């Protein structure tokens, strides 16, 4: 038998036993450790620690005599003895945890096991990084350059640079700033992990990083999300997915080696990701759409949205008064029950009033808004209904006051939402379908009351919002080639559906979109009940049959999507973006198993996101040309600001022309009409009639 050269640690427990490390398995999986990285492991053993000096009973009740041996736990530290032939230690995820993740992490397990196989070769070794500790001119004027900064507070403390051959790290001063300026002026591709973070700081220091900067970009975090949208996006975890490297994050951000390796490994990660982008057919989407749009998102964050401080103060006072009055009303209607205590609310509803307890998907009792509205749908009048309505109003005001009225305003009077993760090790960001998210604050989740706080930066300017009309439903109808639904979309499709189903307008609209999101009859009934409609599961089945008979091709398309996802284990939108479904399969009865709602929802949402990404660059250029700017994007709409005198029918027509461009990838002459609104604040905007918009 050959002498062992690699120790394979399956799961975190075995890794800790072997190495003595306390790091989580997600942070060490795939990394290459050596026996010299091991430290002594503290272990407890039961042994004789002395003799009893008096008679009595021990903790188990046994009789003891003087001189009997006294047992106890002894802690000792020792390294695990590994065979001298062992060169490498590699850990992988526990297959049970992979299964529990819905096979989301199976790609990491496969990659790490492949790395273990390679480690058995005599020539295998971790990727080495040598570096200089002073800024130098790079030896070639071609090829991408990776840049990584370290920060202290709001200042750059150190910068690292690598072109894959030469790597240097240096404190941030005029010398390193000069080298970075040269790089940005060279037109070479700039590589970084979460460039939104680095460029935000560099923009303050060197003027070359501006609106007209010509250097193309390669953001390895965005690439990681595109390649495996449900997997890791932080540098440490995504690097070990693609590279054979030793762990370096333990060095600490004040270490020159840490910064140098950040830059070098980011460069190597981009090199590896480019291969996978080409193999999966996503390179064009990445380089021609996502990367050109990245500076637009960065500028949106930098510009921010102005907050009307006097209105905010007034609103905060109004909410405080309203919450006080609602609390008094609640105490009068339902005494001795704390409206902020879910256990007390649950006791009042489920035990005292006998309603069946609502459960979360994890089986826990809940009294959330949906549960309260579902009960209210059954009890329209009386003291109980009054109590529930008061509670809902109280919870709404409390939420507004604690979340939306506590706005963190910058020194410029604006909020600056991030459309990309705030740090390099974050696994958050855009949805797996590519739809953009926002944070700090979540500008995409602002209720109507909160939107009134946001105004144009200059009093003589106005806000303009352009909203794609029913974009996901139009995409689904076109992909399904459903002429009946496309014809209905020329009018008021939700009115037609609600009349067909015999329900009110809002219920019909909710039903249609829940279908589009992949909900089954049970989920649809639950959603409708949370909105106050007393609709049974049987009624939803009847409605589904009516809808399927009216829009046959859409229903057939909706039925076929899960089979495509299960057959390929992924879906691809018309722009090339993939969404993986590793746990999807077709069982022996020909039924698709897996997350069916996600499969059905992916094509319309992913293609809608693709349109939004595609329009960012031309829309930004148009706004800049007319003295305006994009302020925010909210799923299927853009919020902009312009000088009032610039907002003419010609400008509005230009906006419509840019956004209503055709996308033949989706269907012949496919375009989505837009609705336009204008106003002094985001919450009070007037819809513009089509007659006012001239191309």
Tokens of 255: 């270490």
Contact call for residues 301 and 196 (beta carbons, < 8 A):
yes
Cis check: omega of the bond before 410, within 30 degrees of 0: no
Mind listing the pLDDT tens digit for each residue in 404-414?
A: 999 889 999 99
Q: Enumerate residues 6+ apart whose C-beta is below 8 A from 259.
A: 148, 150, 158, 159, 160, 169, 253
Q: What are the contacts of 254-257 at 24+ separation with CB within 8 A?
A: 254/150, 254/157, 254/158, 256/131, 256/133, 256/158, 256/169, 257/131, 257/169
Radius of gyration of the chain (CA): 30
Contact call for residues 660 and 673 (beta carbons, < 8 A):
yes
Q: What is the mean pLDDT of the segment spanning 413-435?
A: 79
The beta strand positions in 93-221, using DSSP E, are 145-152, 155-162, 167-171, 190-192, 217-219
The model's confidence at residue 42, banded by pLDDT at 50, 70 and 90, is confident
Q: In what order do the strands lie in the sheet with 88-92?
A: 6-10, 88-92, 32-33
pLDDT given for residue 187 in this prediction? 87
Tokens of 678: 């204008």
Q: Enumerate residues 6+ apart whose C-beta is below 8 A from 183.
A: 138, 145, 147, 161, 190, 215
Query: How far, in Å, CA of 117 to CA of 121, rounded?
Result: 8
The class of domain 433-470+607-692 in CATH terms is alpha beta
pLDDT given for residue 211 in this prediction? 43
pLDDT given for residue 48 in this prediction? 80
Query: How far, in Å, CA of 30 to CA of 25, rounded?
Result: 9
Superfamily of chain region 474-602: 5' to 3' exonuclease, C-terminal subdomain (1.10.150.20)
Contact call for residues 417 and 322 (beta carbons, < 8 A):
no
For the entire predicted model, the pTM comes to 0.90
203 C-beta neighbours (distance < 10 Å), count: 16
170 C-beta neighbours (distance < 10 Å), count: 21
The model's confidence at residue 72, banded by pLDDT at 50, 70 and 90, is confident
Tokens of 496: 């037609």
The class of domain 145-279 in CATH terms is alpha beta
| Residue count (the chain) | 695
Chain-wide mean pLDDT for the chain?
91
DSSP-based three-state secondary structure for 23: coil
Contact call for residues 461 and 642 (beta carbons, < 8 A):
yes
In Å, how far are 164, 191, 266 from 276, measured between CA atoms?
18, 16, 15
Mind listing the pLDDT tens digit for each residue in 170-222?
A: 999 999 999 999 999 888 999 999 999 999 899 888 865 444 456 899 999 99
- Asked if pLDDT for residue 2 goes beyond 80, the answer is no
Give the N- to C-terminal CA distance of the chain in Å, as an integer: 79
pLDDT given for residue 284 in this prediction? 97
The model's confidence at residue 139, banded by pLDDT at 50, 70 and 90, is low
Percent of the chain with pLDDT over 70: 96
What are residue 18's phi and psi, to 5 degrees? -80, -45
Domain boundaries, the chain: 6-54+63-119, 145-279, 326-414, 433-470+607-692, 474-602
E strand or H helix that includes residue 638 = strand 637-643
Mind listing the pLDDT tens digit for each residue in 91-119?
A: 999 999 999 999 999 999 999 999 999 99
Residue with tokens 């459309």: 419
Q: Which residues pair with 272 in a beta bridge?
A: none
Contact call for residues 268 and 127 (beta carbons, < 8 A):
yes
- Give the per-residue SS3 of 271-337: HHHHHHHHHCCCHHHHHHHHHHHHHHHHHHHHHCEEECHHHHHHHHHHHHHHHHHHHHHHHHHCCCC
pLDDT given for residue 382 in this prediction? 86
Query: How far, in Å, CA of 379 to CA of 173, rounded?
Result: 69
Residue with tokens 């970075």: 180
Query: Which of 14-28, 30-44, 320-334 has the lowest average pLDDT?
Result: 30-44
Residue with tokens 């529990």: 100
DSSP-based three-state secondary structure for 338: coil
- Asked if pLDDT for residue 311 goes beyond 50, the answer is yes
DSSP-based three-state secondary structure for 119: helix
Tokens of 374: 């579902």
pLDDT given for residue 380 in this prediction? 72
pLDDT given for residue 694 in this prediction? 62
Q: Which fold has domain 326-414?
A: Taq DNA Polymerase; Chain T, domain 4 (1.20.1060)
Tokens of 527: 């959603």
Query: Which of 349-353, 530-534, 677-681, 684-688 has the lowest average pLDDT?
Result: 530-534
Q: Which residues of 160-169 are buried (b: 16+ CB within 10 A; e: fewer)?
A: bbbbbebbbb
Percent of the chain with pLDDT over 90: 75
- Asked if pLDDT for residue 360 goes beyond 60, the answer is yes
Q: What is the mean pLDDT of the segment spanning 301-328?
A: 96
Q: Enumerate residues 6+ apart whose C-beta is below 8 A from 540.
A: 511, 521, 522, 524, 525, 528
- Asked if pLDDT for residue 544 goes beyond 60, the answer is yes
Q: What is the mean pLDDT of the segment spanning 367-385?
A: 85
Mind listing the pLDDT tens digit for each residue in 434-493?
A: 999 888 899 999 999 999 999 999 999 999 999 999 999 999 999 999 999 999 999 999
Residue 686 buriedness (CB in 10 A; 0-12 / 13-18 / 19+): exposed
Instruction: Pick from 98-102, 380-384, 688-692 the range whose average pLDDT is largest.
Output: 98-102
What are residue 633's phi and psi, to 5 degrees? -125, 130
Q: Ramachandran region of residue 161, left (φ > 0), alpha (ψ -120 to 50) or beta?
A: beta
The beta strand positions in 484-584, using DSSP E, are 570-572, 578-580
E strand or H helix that includes residue 182 = helix 174-185
Tokens of 18: 């072997």
E strand or H helix that includes residue 61 = none
E strand or H helix that includes residue 428 = none
Q: How many CA atoms lie within 13 A of 295 on its CB side?
A: 20
Mind listing the pLDDT tens digit for each residue in 222-260?
A: 999 999 998 989 999 999 999 999 999 888 778 899 999
pLDDT given for residue 209 in this prediction? 44
Query: How far, in Å, CA of 145 to CA of 163, rounded?
Result: 5
pLDDT given for residue 210 in this prediction? 44
In Å, how far are 217, 280, 433, 598 from 610, measured between CA atoms?
19, 17, 9, 17
Mind listing the pLDDT tens digit for each residue in 500-526?
A: 999 999 999 999 999 999 999 999 998
Tokens of 62: 């046994």
- Give the per-residue SS3 of 408-420: CCCCCCEECCECC
Residue with tokens 């700033």: 177
Q: Which residues pair with 71 in a beta bridge?
A: 48
Contact call for residues 672 and 611 (beta carbons, < 8 A):
yes
Tokens of 170: 């240096």
Q: Percent helix, strand and coil across the chain, each rounded to 5? A: 45, 15, 35
């Amino acid at each position: 038998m050959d002498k062992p050269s690699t120790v394979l640690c399956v799961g975190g427990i075995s890794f800790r036993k072997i190495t003595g490390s306390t790091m989580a398995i997600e942070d060490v999986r795939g990394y290459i450790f050596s026996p010299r990285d091991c430290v002594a492991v503290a272990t407890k053993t039961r042994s004789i620690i002395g003799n009893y000096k008096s008679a009595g009973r021990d903790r188990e009740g046994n009789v003891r005599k003087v001189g009997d041996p006294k047992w106890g736990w002894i802690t000792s530290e020792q390294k695990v003895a590994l065979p001298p032939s062992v060169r490498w230690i590699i850990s992988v995820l526990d297959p049970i945890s992979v299964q529990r993740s819905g096979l989301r992490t199976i790609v990491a397990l496969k990659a790490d096991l492949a790395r273990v196989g390679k480690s058995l070769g005599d020539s295998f070794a971790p990727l080495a990084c040598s570096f200089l500790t002073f800024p130098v001119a790079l030896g070639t004027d071609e090829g991408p350059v990776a840049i990584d900064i370290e920060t202290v507070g709001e200042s750059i403390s150190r910068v690292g640079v690598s072109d894959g051959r030469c790597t240097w790290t240096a404190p941030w001063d005029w010398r390193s700033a000069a080298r970075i300026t040269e790089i940005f002026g060279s037109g070479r591709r700039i590589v970084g992990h979460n460039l939104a973070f680095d460029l935000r700081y560099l923009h303050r220091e060197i003027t070359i990083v501006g609106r007209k900067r010509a250097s193309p970009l390669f953001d390895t975090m965005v690439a990681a999300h595109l390649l495996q949208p449900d997997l890791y996006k932080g540098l440490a975890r995504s690097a070990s997915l693609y590279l054979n490297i030793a762990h370096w994050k333990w060095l600490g951000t004040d270490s020159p080696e840490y910064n140098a390796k950040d830059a070098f490994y980011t460069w190597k990660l981009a090199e590896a990701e480019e291969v996978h982008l080409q193999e999966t057919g996503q390179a064009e989407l990445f380089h021609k759409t996502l990367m050109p749009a990245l500076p637009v998102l960065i500028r949106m964050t930098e510009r921010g949205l102005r907050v009307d401080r006097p209105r905010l103060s007034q609103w905060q006072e109004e909410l405080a008064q309203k919450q006080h009055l609602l609390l008094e009303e609640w105490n009068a209607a339902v005494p001795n029950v704390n409206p902020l205590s879910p256990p007390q609310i649950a006791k009042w509803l489920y035990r005292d009033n006998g309603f069946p307890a609502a459960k979360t998907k994890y089986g826990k009792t809940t009294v959330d808004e949906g549960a309260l509205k579902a009960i209210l749908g059954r009890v329209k009048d009386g003291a109980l209904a009054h109590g529930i309505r008061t509670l809902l109003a109280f919870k709404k005001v409390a939420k507004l006051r604690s979340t939306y009225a506590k706005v963190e305003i910058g020194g410029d009077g604006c909020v600056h939402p991030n459309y990309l993760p705030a740090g390099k090790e974050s696994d958050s960001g855009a949805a797996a379908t590519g739809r953009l998210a926002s944070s700090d604050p979540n500008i995409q989740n602002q209720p109507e009351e909160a939107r009134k706080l946001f105004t144009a930066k200059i009093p003589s300017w106005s806000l303009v919002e352009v909203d794609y009309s029913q974009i996901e439903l139009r995409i689904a109808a076109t992909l399904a080639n459903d002429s009946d639904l496309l014809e209905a979309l020329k009018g008021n499709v939700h009115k037609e559906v609600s009349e067909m189903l015999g329900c009110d307008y809002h219920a019909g609209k909710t039903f249609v979109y829940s279908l589009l999101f992949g909900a089954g009859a049970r989920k649809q009934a639950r959603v409708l009940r949370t909105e106050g409609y007393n609709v049974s599961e049987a009624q939803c089945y009847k409605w589904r049959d009516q809808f399927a008979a009216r829009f046959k091709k859409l229903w057939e398309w909706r039925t076929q999507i899960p089979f495509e996802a299960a057959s390929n284990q992924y879906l691809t939108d018309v722009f090339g973006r993939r969404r993986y479904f590793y746990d999807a399969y077709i069982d022996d009865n020909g039924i698709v198993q897996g997350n069916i709602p996600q499969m059905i929802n992916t094509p319309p949402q992913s293609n809608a996101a693709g349109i939004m990404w595609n329009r960012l660059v031309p829309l930004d250029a148009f706004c800049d040309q007319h003295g305006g700017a994009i302020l925010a994007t909210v799923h299927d709409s853009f919020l902009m600001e312009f000088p009032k005198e610039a907002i003419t029918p010609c400008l509005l027509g230009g906006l419509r022309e840019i956004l209503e461009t055709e996308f033949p990838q989706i269907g012949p002459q496919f375009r989505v009409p837009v609705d336009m609104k204008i106003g002094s604040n985001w919450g009070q905007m007037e819809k513009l009639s089509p007659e006012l918009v001239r191309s």
